[in-house]
Each structure stands twice: as structure tokens, then as C-alpha cells.
Amino acid sequence: MAEYKPIRKVVSGNYAAAYAVKHARVEVVAAYPITPQTSIIEKIAEFIANGEVENLEYVPVESEHSAMAACIGASAAGARVFTATSAQGLALMHEMLHWASGARLPVVMVDVNRAMAPPWSVWDDQTDSLAQRDTGWMQFYAENNQEVYDGVLMAFKIAETVNLPAMVVESAFILSHTYDVVEMIPQELVDEFLPPRKPLYDLTNFEKPFSIGALGTPADYYEFRYKIQRAMEKAKEVIHEVGKEFGERFGRDYSQMIELYRTEDADFVFMGMGSLMGTVKQAVDVLRDEGYKVGAAKVRWFRPFPKEELYELAKNVEGIAVLDRNYSFGMEGILFTEAKGALYNTNAKPIMKNYIVGLGGRDFTVSDVRKIAENMRAIIEKGELDVEVDWYHLKR
Amino acid sequence: MNTLFGERKEGATKIVLKSVDEYPEAPVTLGTTLTNFTGDWRTFIPVIDDSKCVKCYICWKFCPEPAIFIREDGYVGVDYDYCKGCGICANECPTNAITMEKEEK
Ligand code: SF4
Ligand code: SF4
């Protein structure tokens, strides 16, 4: 194994994604530009134009639906495939997302989290990706540009091991257009970590022809659904192994699906996903200095959902403040529903409260986390909730 | 099975999968149409009366599955492994030589 000397570059989250695509030796990219995703595919196009990548076919398409359709075709043929999108574009892909997962194709996509319209918005919000919860795609939420880069590389390895597609999610502008130092991995070490894809079936074997995704009658459909769920369960083990291997090779450990930050001995924790959690971690440090016993639990993988890790955390805390930068109308924040549901049949029953924060790019700061901490402390002392779902920023 | 238009490959047996572990990981068709019999979708079965048949082969042309074949004597036969019982042949036959009857299973 060659010695690991990281290459440090100052890049935006989007460029971090594009570099990861290059280093993963992706063979086909089919994508349609949509703000704030555009600079990912522009950078990839630039790599091709400059001859910096070999054997990478860029398929310009007329919509996101076609982008995903092209990815599915290329992936079925055995290629390593990538696309990227945002918000309305992801929604337009929705139907095709099922085709990718149902046919068990390990397409990897970056979704730049952006609020759904109307009102028209290009700012950060997780509702777009979380609305794809039931499509059979794995979902990784990146906190910073480094995690975008690492996430894309790991996503290919995990996806190609369990034969399910994966989404790496980064925040609009907060990550996509903000520059930060990213440690990149030399090509030959990426190659060792991520060998060429071995497709589940060889569609190019003309001696033994078959078709993918054709009719499944009631006699067979059910079993294929179960297999997707089984692959999701297996993905938890694979995520652990790949995350651990990544840590051993490159020094950043991703073996845990929920990253715990100062949670040992914490009375209550803030739970959330994505770039939001960078602010929360910083706030935890400040609050700890102020005498609060608090920690942060960053959910890295939303699908498969880390039920077991959540249970281990929930056993040891009195309260969980779930921060949702998303909303399921008629109910509550989506992570909140998931987390509560996962714990219902366990004996871990911390007080859980849902804070709806940052929708449509609304700023969320350390002082917001402090206000939430004050509120959580009061709730825990009293032993009962004031409200279950708190529209935290609402102008009242 | 020999027909005027060639020979159907022998060895075609329907694949029946009994446990989830026997299934392929992805929903690939379990073989080609050679082993994927559409015949078991059928409720009604076409019955051909040779005495009314004028060998026009309209039924052969219209059958959406390759289920109608032309026998060596020039009349038509039905490959019941593939006939899904849609009744198109009976509908199209100009001499009403084909009737659809409920199949006993
Ligand atoms: S359509 Fe009727 S008459 Fe013509 S070949 Fe078929 S069975 Fe015979
Ligand atoms: S019933 Fe339908 S499938 Fe069967 S032989 Fe007639 S046309 Fe073909």
C-alpha cells in the first residue's frame, strides 16, 4: 500500500464532489444543470474538455428525468455512473429513482439540498431529498466539503457492494458554493480503495440474454421488494466496514452512521443532519463552557436508518432535540418522525422535541442553539413538553 | 414442436421459485420467453374447429404472443405454454373457427 499523503485543495462543496467523481473513475455522467448543482457538472465537463479524465462519457440531457434514465441504462450496462441535481430537478427524477433501486443499480448522485418551490427558492432545505425517502436510495448527509468528497467515494463502494443507488446530500450554497480546504486522496490510493465496479449481472453477455425490470406478477414482485430491504439492512454492515476502512486508510473514520459529539455524560443532545450540525457542534463547545451538559448527534445516513445506534444513544440521555431543516406537512419534521418511530418499541424513552429550523435557507446560528438548549433544559426539568413541534423562527 | 416456420427449442420448462433465496438479486427476467411461460395467466382457452378453418392465418398474424403456429397439415395450432387467453384470435377469425372456453385447471 502506497503511503498516504493527502493533496490539499481549497474547493467549494460542488468542486469537492466533481473531484471525487474524477477520482472514482466514473465512466458515465448524465446530468442537467440546476442551481445550485450546476458547478458540479460544469467542473466535470471541464475535466473532460481538458483531457484530465479518461473514459468518461458526459451525456447532456434535456431534463433530470432523462438524466436519471440515462444513468440507469449506463449502470445496467455495467458502467460506474454519476449524476447530480437539486430540489425540483430531484422531484422530476422521482419516478426514475424507483427504477434505479428496483433494478438494483448502484448509481451515485449528489443532491444539493435546496428548498422546494413555491415560493421559488434556491437556498438550503432538506425537504427535497427527504421526500425521496421511500425510493430505495441510500442517503448520506454531508456536514462539510470534506464529507462531500469522502461521501461520494464511499458511496460508490457501498452502493456497488449492496447493489443499491446512493445519494450524497450537501447544503445549497452553505457547502455547494463555499470554499474550504479539502484533503483529497492521491489517485492510486483511491484506486486501491475503490476498484472497478463488478456488476451484479452482465447485460453485455449476448450468449445469455436477459432483461432487467420487466414484468413481475403478484407471484414474484413481493420477493424482490424484500430483497431491497435485505440489501438495506446489509448496507448498515457495509457502511460500518467501509467507513472504518476509510478511517484506517485516510484518517477520517466514518464507521458510525450517527456521529456522536461530546455525548458521553450529556443530559440531552441535539440531533440533525448536514451542514446544520457544524453550527451545532460549535454551539455544543460554547454551551459546555457555560455549564450545559449537551452533545450533538449527527445522523450521517438517513437511509438505511441507524435504528440501533439511535437506541444506544437514546438509552443514555434524558432528552433529544431533533432539528429538522425540512417538513412533512400534516405531521412534523421528517427526522423527528423517524427517530420517534424507531424508539417506540424500545425501552429508551427520552423526551423528544422537534425544532423546525432553517427552512428555505433561514440562518441558523450558535445563539439559536443556545435558545433551544435553554428551552430543552426547562422541558427536562419540568418533565413535560411545551409543544411537540416548534416552528422556531416563526415571526410571531 | 415443428411448425412450417421453424422449430421451437426443446427443453423449455417453466421456472417456479419457491423461496426468496432462489430468486435472483435483481428483478431480471427469469430466463427468456423460452422459460417464462405466459400460458399460466390464462382463464379462457381458444379451441379451434378445423372444419371451419380456411387457413387464412389471420389468427397467426394477430396473436400477440407467439402462441399460434401453423401445423404441417396447414391448419393452425395453439402453443398453450404461451397462449395467455386474450381471445384476439377468436375475435379476428373470419369464419368463427375459434371459440373461447373457460379452462378447467
Ligand atoms: S383466422 Fe380462423 S380461419 Fe383463419 S387460420 Fe385462423 S382459425 Fe383458420
Ligand atoms: S387467445 Fe390470445 S394468446 Fe391465445 S392464441 Fe389466441 S390470440 Fe394468441
What are the average pLDDT values for consecutive 10-residue runs of chain A, which has 396 residues? Answer: 89 98 98 98 98 96 98 96 98 98 98 98 98 98 98 98 98 98 98 97 81 83 96 98 98 98 97 98 98 98 98 98 98 98 97 98 98 98 97 96
The vertex-A273 CA angle with A175 and A5, nearest 5°, equals: 55
> Does B20 contact A226 at a Cβ distance shorter than 8 Å?
yes
Cβ-contact A21, A80 below 8 angstroms: no
- B93, part of any domain: yes
C-alpha closest to that of A93 among A75, A78, A111: A111
Q: Which residues of A touch B23 (CB under 8 A)?
A: 220, 223-224, 227
C-alpha closest to that of A364 among A260, A263, A261, A272: A272
pLDDT of residue A8: 98
pLDDT of residue B11: 59
pLDDT of residue B13: 67
pLDDT of residue A13: 98
Mutate to test the pocket of ligand 1, among B4, B51, B57 (most ligand atoms within 8 A of CB): B57
Three-state SS string over A231-269 comes to HHHHHHHHHHHHHHHHHHHHCCCCCCCEEEECCCCCCEE
ipTM: 0.86
pLDDT of residue A166: 98
Tell me chain A's radius of gyration from C-alpha atoms.
21
What separation in Å is there between the alpha carbon of B46 and the centre of ligand 2? 7
What separation in Å is there between the alpha carbon of A155 and the centre of ligand 2? 48
How far is residue A222's CA from residue A268's CA, in Å, rounded to a whole number?
Answer: 41
pLDDT of residue A126: 98
- B19, part of any domain: no
- Read off φ and ψ for residue A371, nearest 5 degrees: -60, -40
pLDDT of residue B31: 63
How far is residue B105's CA from residue B82's CA, in Å, rounded to a whole number?
Answer: 16
Q: Which residues of A touch B17 (CB under 8 A)?
A: 220, 223
Q: Which of A201, A211, A227 sits opposite B23 (nearest CB)?
A: A227
Segments forming the whole domain that contains residue B94: 37-102
pLDDT of residue A222: 95
The whole-angstrom distance between B75's CA and the closest CA on chain A is 33
C-alpha closest to that of A103 among A13, A195, A156, A165: A165
The tally of domains found in chain B comes to 1
- B49, part of any domain: yes
- B15, part of any domain: no
- B29, part of any domain: no
Task: Check CB contact of A391 with chain B, cutoff 8 Å.
Answer: no
pLDDT of residue B52: 97
Each residue's pLDDT expressed in tens, for chain B with a length of 105 residues: 555 555 665 656 667 789 999 999 999 876 666 677 788 889 999 999 999 999 999 999 999 988 999 999 999 999 998 899 999 999 999 999 999 999 987
C-alpha closest to that of A257 among A294, A311, A295: A311
CATH of the domain at B45: 3.30.70.20
- B67, part of any domain: yes
- B60, part of any domain: yes
C-alpha closest to that of A164 among A64, A79, A231: A231
